[in-house]
Structure 1
């Protein structure tokens, strides 16, 4: 193949990926809108959409009813039969989801298990996917899997350097899972994947500078997006908000001498104060205003969290802060009061355009983010 042919084919692959990425991240849109968004001519877009449809990656249906002038333009939508897997091992369960192109959860399962090891996670995922392949996902194309780990994950090879609550240290889960499933596997920090999901499909879709904090049973993690790019840092470990020193404005709020943020803003403390046993996030959220002990503990944690976020606003000047998991529940006790407190803790200029939100994707955010990471190879070369 000569250089020109190679160049032409490379451009075609890039354009195919751009069109598929548009409908995956942005949702169904007409050929006319794709033409406008890509800057490609109409005949090129028609050819690209036809190729993607032939490959089973997109589907076309009725014309856009709002288009009043000229020939009606068909709507291009991502195929729900192209899926990636999202996996989230936690200290009390392994969650597994099948996520379609477009970011919709097609299937999910939560398997209760106490501090699963790598071998146990691989076995549970393989067993679940085998059932899905002969059942609800029969005939679907599974393009890969993403694993959202509550810990430090090295970017270059996906090795989990440390997941303290799972008691994992320097372990490889990508290799064993790839061999078991027979598909590519990517591994990343759970909160970074949550940030990715909320930026692409959730509360922060319209924002390029985002601070995301996720609160779960294993502690607090987070992600940082600047100018639309997820920031991983030199080794991929950026976003460990839970390990920062807790910001206390009242010394009486301290519960752990020398404690870090996740020692003080802590899901287990809320559960205990609310008098619950193994609640999900929705049950916990409903109990935070139900008793004096729960109200007092939620108030203490809200003060510490607001002070921490005020520092983040001063350092990073985000346009959006998104709180996931039990952190979103803390904000939701009184959203206006919490948001005002965060702004009061920050410089006025840094906070003047700041928005805060609880995670829009709820319990799906980590699975969607992990699955989207697994989609990237397909999006880079849809027909490869």
Structure 2
């Protein structure tokens, strides 16, 4: 969802907007009573009743009886997004292709991670199709599939979903969205993974009720960022805004694949953390456990020359460079909140409060005095939810669209 208002209008000429406002509210916030919808939208009770009835008929919401309460009078029915309306979410990475099924209620119903080393675009299409084919019996039985959203670790042209550059995947001008559409027969949209992650955290995670935030995501292929300004995602002219992974943090650093020296993702990366931990690979949850174990070992054994001492030194080194990028983001955007996802979340959890301390000591006081730094709340669900939002966007904008209803067919 974008920064669209949830306020409605009682004029029949704006029925589409009103349907969108009601569906968007229950999608973002969870089940609400009709009386709550009346208060939130500013519409009258009869209009809400008519809109909810239409959304029920469209198969987009469910109504249920409220739980027991002590209020006097007839309780108001509760309206919730229909979990059987789903989007498929795909995230190709350098070590795997992940496919998920996400309900309109924001719940990740299935998540399949298929290991693959630096898949080509066509390989990622084939893997995605195979996983989706495996899920089709379940989807046919109980779900209406709206479409597919793809979270790509690279630059994606907003207009047509062409991956202009995903350097770690070695993808260049790949029409991935079109290729996937041709393979599976469903509408496909693609966007940068960090931008989608920022939107997901704003709607469902740490950024709820926040209008200005910067999201930094650390993945196997590098660091991406998404920026929300005034409640609206910052996309840039062609959709490429937010490449914080390629901001300068060390003028004496090594050369990045982009050609520059000392980029954030050359200094702060998952690979270096795994190396000092003695691991070949790990997701964010596994990295959390490994860092916690190293910290516990350091508390009992100690010593800068120990394995745990090396881990502590690497954490401090990476946090120092990450602080440079976060300081710059703070000074440029003056956000309320900076959210860290992926391995960056594990990194700050390993040294609680240290990043906030480093940033507070260097950022402009006026910009940083109200800043909060938090870990992403959605965890491994983040990019599944973010990609699904991309697929749900046309439905949320126009719930009664005939094209949207037809698009739900599973072949």
Name the TM tier (shorter chain). over 0.9
State the Cα deviation string for residues 236-261 of structure 1 (Å, max 9, x = none): 0011111111157xx7xx56692211
State the Cα deviation string for residues 131-168 of structure 1 (Å, max 9, x = none): 21212652310001001110001112211100011110
2:390 aligned with 1:376, yes or no? Answer: no
2:210 aligned with 1:193, yes or no? Answer: no
- Match for residue 357 of structure 1 among 374, 378, 400: 374
Distance 1:320 1:293 in 2: 31
The two structures have a TM-score, normalised by structure 1, of 0.93
Q: Across the two proteins, how many residue pairs are aligned to each other?
A: 374
Distance 1:324 1:137 in 2: 33
- Match for residue 349 of structure 2 among 318, 322, 332: 332
Distance 1:74 1:146 in 2: 32
Name the residue aligned to 2:98: 95
Alignment partner of 1:143: what SS?
A: strand
Worse-matched range after superposition: 276-285 or 18-27: 276-285
Worse-matched range after superposition: 140-149 or 341-350: 341-350
CA shift, 1:317, in A, is 0.4
Distance 2:250 2:31 in 1: 44
1:251-262, aligned counterparts within 5 Å? 254=253, 258-262=261-265
Name the residue aligned to 1:366: 383
State the Cα deviation string for residues 279-315 of structure 1 (Å, max 9, x = none): 2222222333511211111110011111221121111
- Match for residue 274 of structure 1 among 274, 277, 282: 277
Name the residue aligned to 2:241: 238
2:230 aligned with 1:227, yes or no? Answer: yes
State the Cα deviation string for residues 93-142 of structure 1 (Å, max 9, x = none): 00000000121101110000111122222222222222212126523100
Distance 1:361 1:111 in 2: 20
Alignment partner of 2:348: what SS?
A: helix
CA shift, 1:8, in A, is 7.0
Aligned residues of 1:310 and 1:345 also touching (Cα < 8 A)? yes
Aligned residues of 2:244 and 2:325 also touching (Cα < 8 A)? no
Distance 2:324 2:369 in 1: 17
Distance 1:158 1:280 in 2: 27
Aligned residues of 1:287 and 1:294 also touching (Cα < 8 A)? no
Name stretches of at least 5 consecutive residues in structure 2 with no aligned partner: 1-9, 295-307, 402-411
Aligned residues of 2:139 and 2:145 also touching (Cα < 8 A)? no
Q: In the superposition, relative to structure 1, how do residues 255 and 123 fare at CA in structure 2: closer, same or farther (>3 Å)?
A: closer
Distance 2:13 2:178 in 1: 30
State the Cα deviation string for residues 49-103 of structure 1 (Å, max 9, x = none): 1111122111111225457143211111111100001100001100000000121
Name the residue aligned to 1:106: 109
- Match for residue 315 of structure 1 among 318, 326, 332: 332
Name the residue aligned to 1:211: 214
Q: Which portions of structure 1, spanning 4 or more consecutive aligned residues, are displaced by more than 6 angstroms?
A: none
Aligned residues of 1:247 and 1:308 also touching (Cα < 8 A)? no
Distance 2:167 2:248 in 1: 18
- Match for residue 115 of structure 1 among 109, 113, 118: 118
Alignment partner of 1:134: what SS?
A: helix
1:73-92, aligned counterparts within 5 Å? 73-92=76-95
Distance 2:36 2:25 in 1: 10
Aligned residues of 1:311 and 1:345 also touching (Cα < 8 A)? no
Name the residue aligned to 1:3: none
